[in-house]
Amino acid sequence: RNEILRASKPLGRALWRNWSGSHRRSRVETKTNCVKLLGQRLMSRDFDRQVAEVQIRAAVLNRFTALGIPLTVAMG
């Protein structure tokens, strides 16, 4: 923790997060938590059906993420 604080002081917290990859890790952890909220286990026993189940969960998460991203338009 002390090394992190020493490194983040001269760069600033925002630059340090991008430089160290902390921001990306945080986003991955958030998405992993979303996957867990859809269900802790795979219901299918057959491997091919498990693959399909994971793909469906990913599609649902991608759709939810797309709904939450605002559309920005440059004015003037």
Contact predicate 16/22, CB 8 Å: yes
What pLDDT sits at residue 72? 80
Residue 35 exposed, middle or buried by CB count within 10 Å (0-12, 13-18, 19+)? middle
Cα distance between residue 64 and residue 29, in whole Å? 16
pLDDT band at 42 (very low <50, low <70, confident <90, very high): confident
Quick check: helix, strand or coil at residue 39? Answer: coil
User: What are the helix and strand counts (H, E) for the chain?
Assistant: 4, 0
Please provide the average confidence, as pLDDT, over all residues in the chain.
80
